[in-house]
Chains A and B, each alone.
Chain A
Amino acid sequence: MSVNLTINNLPATVEADTTVLAAAATVGIKIPTLCHFNNISSPGSCRVCLVEIEGMRTLQPACVTTVSEGMMVKTTSKAARDARRLSVELLLANHPWDCNACVRNNECELQDLAKEMGITEVRFPYEKDEIPIDDSTPALVRDMNKCILCRRCVSVCQDVQGVSTLAAKDRGFDTVIGTGASDSLGEEVCVQCGQCSAVCPVGAIYEKDSIEAVWAELDNPKKHVVVQTAPAIRAALGECFGLEPGHCVTGKMVTALRMMGFDKVFDTNFSADLTIIEEGHELLGRLKTALVDKGEVNLPMFTSCSPGWINFMEYFYPQLLPNLSTCKSPQQMFGAMAKSYYAELEGIAPEDITVVSIMPCTAKKYECTRDEMYDSGYQDVDYVLTTRELGRMISEAGVDFLNLPDSEQDSPMGMSTGAADIFANTGGVMEAAIRTVYEVVTGRELPMEKLHIAPVMGLKGLKEASLTFEDCVDDWKFLEGVTANVCVAHGLKNARKACDMVASGEANYHFIEVMCCPGGCIGGGGQPRFTTDEVREARIKAIYAEDEGRKIRKSHENPAITQIYETFLKKPLGEKSHKLLHTHYHAKKIDD
């Protein structure tokens, strides 16, 4: 049903249930907002979007007020303008003014609002007591002095991720966003997904910066510095330089990294392909144990690429840890291989190799410091930079990114397939795995259009698909006629649903892909701000296009992977694989 209303004397017709904010947008009026974010959070509390509605005594927040027939809205009346300005002025009064030295300088919503409203004076003194900066985790920094209490971080942490580490504490002027019973994230259950940092409108939550440390490695002539870039980086990095979401900038990224002095520009896609081989065989092995040997085996198997998800399981579902694939994440497989296989290949001492990862993810910063991640004999991955940090580093290097020529990754660890590309988004690991598993089992290519498994694509929270193996090759005859049920979850709240179904025995899945962040890694906590659903869709589209444009689109066809098994690993799940590429995780308590 449609509703007619008037906004600033302009007639508008919109669907019922539309907010005044959205209705105004249809007639070209942008109402400023702050606490409102996408479809995640609209507490209606910042009062920056107030408008005047005829017949109402008080001004109304446009972000949560729905339209009604005949409504007369004024967004530019004096009352509305004055109220919005005062809201912003009051926020500024209690916000530090070190904007030039802030990580969010020039990409701060409060700064933008002050500018838009022409606020050049603040009449109220700064009254806040200083709050110590919390940098207790490897991933995130929280500077609550800058917090404007929009509660977006609380909404993502509670409603989207279901982790609920963050919540408002105390009240009134003393309200802060707190971390449970302690004063720091490090002492609480935090999966370090960084979604809070991805939605923060100001400089109150951000990734822990490793740029200087990476420059220092690059400056060190003794170090052979190799870099890996996660599949999701290429679909988002361009946004740091003003490109619309949905452009892959793989070639320019490689060129830029080389210009900045990385000795080798490799690709996490390489180890994504490796993951598929290992994980695919692990899954087939578990199925064989279950179906042929009738042995005790933990099914369904969960994917293990996403470190935020691993943290979540360790805290919330330790009983399901045996169901987790023993494969390390592609980042960590890469690091372990770089400091073993690659070091051997190039004759460089592993201690002289520095592995830098470019990740869409803040939890990766934690993952590389884990005790389990020293299997090369050294810290397998030394530094993790998020997409945002890489963007800043490229800017600092003075590289004219958008006009760079394309170039290709180095061999051998830069070689990859389309299957690896789609690790970037929800459903991608599942699809990549099935492309290989199906072909291994039946000897035929997956009979799907463009090799895509449509039911596990897209942004639906929990997705399911079933696949029946027919005409299996001799080695896998025991799977003849078996229907494999798979499930894909993204965002930890959906992961929780999947876990609950498994824990209760209600689910009959064989394989479950979980990505910690909504949309998968393309929506990671370290990606350029802001990641809305439209942005997620655009990035996913770009990733699928990258995949479809490849000659090789199945992990097992990656020649570098074939070679690595021939010369180094020998066979999937072999002895070397076990040492370097697999691990086990353990239940975690708050104090760990």
Chain B
Amino acid sequence: MEKPRITVMVPIDANTVPSGAREVKNALSVAIGRANLSNEIKVIETGSFGPTGVGALVAIQPDGVVYCNMTVDKAQEIVEEHLLKGRVCARYMLPGRQVILPTADNVDARTLQHTGRIVLDNCGRIDPENIEEYIANDGYEALGKALTAMSPGEVITEITESELKGRGGAGFPTGQKWSFCAPVVADQKYVICNADEGEPGTFKDRLILEGDPHKIIEGMALCGYAIGATIGYVYVRGEYALSIERLEKAIAAAESHGLLGKNIFNSGFDFEIKIKIGAGAYICGEETALIESMEGKRGCPRLKPPFPAQKGFKGKPTNVNNVETLANIPAIIRNGAAWFKNFGTSSTAGTKVYTILGHINHPGLIEVPAGVTLREIIEDYGGGMKGKFHFAQLGGTAGDILGEEMMDVPMDYDLMEKVGHVLGSGAILIVNESININDFLHSCMRFFSHESCGNCNPCRNGMHAALDITKRLKSGVAYPDDINALEEVVMILHSSAFCPLGQSPAGPVTSALRYFREEIERGVNRELNKHDMPRSNRKMEAINV
């Protein structure tokens, strides 16, 4: 087929499908066909452009025009006006934002664009279901390079030198993690891609999988080569139907192109990838719980040691990495560690993908160098506040709540730690003054209590006790002692719970107390006596007989 004169790009992803993107795409194809333009104008399906909350999107290339809030009617109108008559429909254009359009010379790092992107460079730019497009954009070049010109040890060294840190939330150095698993001798090892993205507010992994699944496949194959694993699994949330569908297609395409399977690039290296689907449990994002779940069991975290690098899936050495982490791997191998370290800060190399959402004008998915400040995120990327800023929560529900005084701290793993906070998974929730902090904390605790696996006692019972207290704070009927008890519970959970989930609520609760104690105290009813609590504070004569 001739190179089309015009490309119409329609992102089909988790945020546009609910707004009717599929219907819009079909309407476009039909209308273009009816106008006999099918030969000149190609309609392609892409991953996310980034912006959310603007309905179904359509981009017309090379004109560089992006339309938002598209409907079937509007799509027909656009075919009529823009594609047939060449008149841009200004009233439907995405307002206020430079768009992510995929032109190579787009260089403004402060707008939602591609240059400077590592993880999302293909997202919204190529058809994720077409392996040729991935290959045309340097895809599988890194795999070829590693398999033909690098030893597994050299791959690990490259990753270690890049100082890439795990992007799932904990920030553990990826190269070091690989180097734990690599030397373990076993008849079988596994690479697992953790796509059980469940941290509220975080949907970056989903959009990566939907927008550029081959990058994950390539990253996993590189990891498998480096650590000596021949089987990879992607553990995906059961709710991520489109991610699963695109992954399946991508795996099949990679297999038929000889990029997965036996003797890849004639190197003697075999690698296959299978998909495991979760069934609704946030805790399965914890790597040992994920492994339990993959084995068909309850997703309760395992005792460590042994660590997965020694005994993981089915008792074999296993390396688990987050989607975003793996998505960084091909570019690092292709361009080298030094290139990667050009991005980011001295302590956190590379870029960081954030989902920015809440009460801001331009919510969405962005990839920025590590180290940008909250103010920059809100003002430059988020299009400013809707209403007056109250607080932000960084890194999902397990993340810290920041008050206005933290607006100008550069955000990377180390710098945040220095001011007593953690960067977390990459969700940034911006909240305005319409939301009371106690209501918000209650929502956070409701999440934790619902997601506690129930295995360890302090988490099982402590989360519930904390939820109960926030419920009282929310209704203004907390006991005078409740705030102290809440703080004690979450702090002790932080040091005593079995796994990171149980240790998490200390983040939001103590940081909220740090910035908003006075507002929280407004939930206490000073009139109440602690003995008013049902069956509580009763002297325990019965027990101390």
Interface residues of A (CB under 8 A from B): 35, 43-48, 50, 57-59, 64, 79, 82-83, 86-87, 90-94, 97-100, 105-106, 111, 114-115, 119-127, 148-149, 168, 170-175
Contact residues in A for B453 (Cβ distance below 8 Å): 171-172
B96 within 8 A of A: no
Contact residues in A for B465 (Cβ distance below 8 Å): 90, 93, 124
Interface residues of B in 525-545 (CB under 8 A from A): 530, 533-540, 542-545
Return 27 A-B CB contacts under 8 Å, by A number. A44-B498, A45-B457, A57-B495, A58-B503, A86-B489, A86-B492, A90-B461, A90-B465, A91-B461, A92-B540, A99-B543, A119-B540, A120-B544, A122-B536, A123-B533, A123-B537, A124-B536, A125-B468, A125-B535, A125-B536, A149-B457, A168-B454, A170-B454, A171-B298, A172-B450, A173-B460, A175-B454
Instruction: Give the residue name and chain of the A residue nearest to B465 (CB).
Output: A124
Instruction: Give the residue name and chain of the B residue nearest to A34 (CB).
Output: B457
Contact residues in B for A105 (Cβ distance below 8 Å): 545
The CB with the most chain B CB atoms within 10 A, among A47, A91, A99, A170, is that of A47
A114 touches B543 (CB 8 A): yes
For the complex, would chain A's binding face be called helix, strand, loop or mixed by DSSP majority? loop
B543 touches A92 (CB 8 A): yes
Interface residues of B in 487-545 (CB under 8 A from A): 488-489, 492, 494-498, 503, 530, 533-540, 542-545
Q: Mark B459-479, 1 if CB is under 8 A from A, else 0.
A: 011111100100000000000
Instruction: Give the residue name and chain of the B residue nearest to A79 (CB).
Output: B495
Interface residues of B (CB under 8 A from A): 281, 298, 303, 449-458, 460-465, 468, 481, 485, 488-489, 492, 494-498, 503, 530, 533-540, 542-545
The CA-CA distance from A148 to B458 in the complex, in Å, is: 12
- Whether A93 contacts B461 in the complex (CB less than 8 A), given A44-B303, A47-B456, comes out as yes
A173 touches B452 (CB 8 A): yes
Nearest CB in chain A: distance from B536 CB, A: 5
A171 touches B468 (CB 8 A): no
- Whether A172 contacts B463 in the complex (CB less than 8 A), given A86-B458, A115-B544, comes out as yes
B454 touches A94 (CB 8 A): no
- Whether A47 contacts B542 in the complex (CB less than 8 A), given A83-B496, A122-B536, A124-B485, comes out as no
Nearest CB in chain A: distance from B492 CB, A: 5
Query: Knowing that A47-B456, A58-B496, A170-B454 are A-B contacts, what are 16 other residue pairs whose CB atoms are under 8 Å apart, sorted by A's residue number?
Result: A35-B457, A59-B495, A82-B492, A83-B458, A87-B457, A90-B458, A90-B465, A93-B461, A97-B535, A106-B545, A111-B543, A122-B537, A123-B533, A124-B468, A149-B457, A171-B454
The CA-CA distance from A94 to B461 in the complex, in Å, is: 8
- Whether A45 contacts B455 in the complex (CB less than 8 A), given A50-B496, A98-B542, comes out as yes
A126 touches B492 (CB 8 A): no
The CA-CA distance from A100 to B545 in the complex, in Å, is: 8
Contact residues in A for B488 (Cβ distance below 8 Å): 82, 86
The CA-CA distance from A127 to B533 in the complex, in Å, is: 12
- Whether A83 contacts B454 in the complex (CB less than 8 A), given A114-B544, A125-B535, comes out as no
Nearest CB in chain B: distance from A395 CB, A: 16
- Whether A174 contacts B454 in the complex (CB less than 8 A), given A97-B542, A115-B543, comes out as yes
The CB with the most chain B CB atoms within 10 A, among A87, A105, A126, is that of A87
Instruction: Give the residue name and chain of the B residue nearest to A151 (CB).
Output: B455
Nearest CB in chain A: distance from B482 CB, A: 8
A43 touches B464 (CB 8 A): no
The CA-CA distance from A92 to B458 in the complex, in Å, is: 12
Contact residues in B for A35 (Cβ distance below 8 Å): 457
Instruction: Give the residue name and chain of the B residue nearest to A115 (CB).
Output: B544
Nearest CB in chain B: distance from A267 CB, A: 37
Contact residues in A for B544 (Cβ distance below 8 Å): 114-115, 120
Nearest CB in chain A: distance from B286 CB, A: 14
Closest 8 CB pairs of A and B: A175-B454, A90-B461, A83-B496, A172-B452, A124-B465, A173-B464, A45-B456, A172-B454
